[in-house]
Amino acid sequence: MDQSGYRFEVVDDLCKLAAEKSGKLALWAGQGNLKVVACYPRAVRSLFEAGGVTLEDGSVEFFNMRTGSAVEILEALGIAPGEDTHEAAEPQAGSEWVPWFPVIDTGRCIQCKQCMNFCLFQVYELTADKQVQVANPSHCKTNCPACARICPKQAIVFPKYSEGAICGEEIADSQGGQDQAGGSPQTLQGNAAYEALIRRTQDAKQATGGPAGSPVMDMKKLQEELRIPPEVLASLNPGEIMELRKKSEKPSE
């Protein structure tokens, strides 16, 4: 508690708490007058929802560290810079997992299932009532935002992404379903992406260089369109490619 009347708690990683469905999220939301200093409000709301907690409209005040400086945020909270106002962050158990994973903006999601059908790593699953959910956040490949780039409604948010709607920036109604990368979702999600991935494994022994049209060129094109890190593409194994082939042959439900 400080002179402003606020009790602060610092957490090591809000994304990690959401992935673990920590009880702290419900505790904070239930206390009323919650103020969250983190990233974009759309990302924070989606993180809480991923953790099983819905933040009611008007019940939370957000302070965005991506767009405001620390001094500006402290001033808005009525706190003098330099005050020791928070509890120490809890020590985290040793783990190499980086909490990089998508969350779903349910207000924008139309349940088209393109994210689930595209993902190679079984990050998404359907609930009992056929709603797409992020069921296995730790399966996601660090720094890969590809599923967000094929979403026709920009409903997939990666809070740790660098910029744009993918990291949680608000979306103007005039943007509609236009993809932030500049291409239509249909183009990015088309057969060329699937075929490029499939050919990579089929021709793995030859994928060390070659003329235009070779697996290397196809993968380079895919990397540029979907911004998939090269190390993620390089990590795909035959089993993942086989799974992708099955999904590519099956129409979206």
Listed range (3-12, 68-77, 109-118) with the worst mean pLDDT: 3-12
Say if residue 77's pLDDT is above 90.
no
Say if residue 83's pLDDT is above 70.
no
Condensed to tens digits (0 to 9), the pLDDT of residues 119-160 reads: 878 899 999 999 999 999 999 988 888 889 889 999 999 999
pLDDT attached to residue 8: 80
Structure tokens that stand for 4 in this block: 């402003």
pLDDT attached to residue 87: 46
Beta-strand (E) ranges in the chain?
8-9, 34-38, 60-64, 86-87, 103-104, 124-126, 132-134, 156-157
pLDDT attached to residue 239: 67
Give the list of residues 6+ apart from residue 171 with CB closer than 8 angstroms, or none: 108, 154, 165
pLDDT attached to residue 238: 65
pLDDT attached to residue 150: 83
Condensed to tens digits (0 to 9), the pLDDT of residues 185-226 reads: 444 444 454 455 545 445 543 443 444 344 444 556 556 666
Say if residue 58's pLDDT is above 80.
yes
Residue 95: pLDDT band (50, 70, 90) is low
